[in-house]
Amino acid sequence: MEKRGAFEKRCYELLKLVPEGKVTTYSEIARALDTRAWRAVGSAMAKNKNLFVIPCHRVVRKDGAIGEYALGAVKKAQLLVKEGVEVSNGRIKNLTKYIYRFRT
């Protein structure tokens, strides 16, 4: 089994590929890592201490809900809107338009 720190690093490296104005999901990152451990991806995002280098605000739930963020959900929504992502009532409007899928 992969060490936790190595898994987190792989999550962060993938996340750095997500451009401004796009979002990805916990399950999408897990899929790109060839695992079903989307909860472990969420845990890695929660441990991120480098919020602006590793843009975990760009990770949302697969239903479009923006989810949690170290600086609060309101700040997460503000950051996404600033990047051009449409957010309404704590959800990404038209997730299909903004989703970033990793090539595997």
**Alpha carbon distance, N-terminus to C-terminus of the chain:** 21
Residue type, 89: N
Residue 11 bears catalytic tag: no
Q: What are phi and psi of 70, to 5 degrees?
A: -55, -35
* Catalytic residue (one of 56, 60, 77, 95): 56
CB neighbourhood size of 59 (10 A): 26
CA distance 47 to 54: 11
CA distance 82 to 20: 9
User: Catalytic residue positions?
Assistant: 56
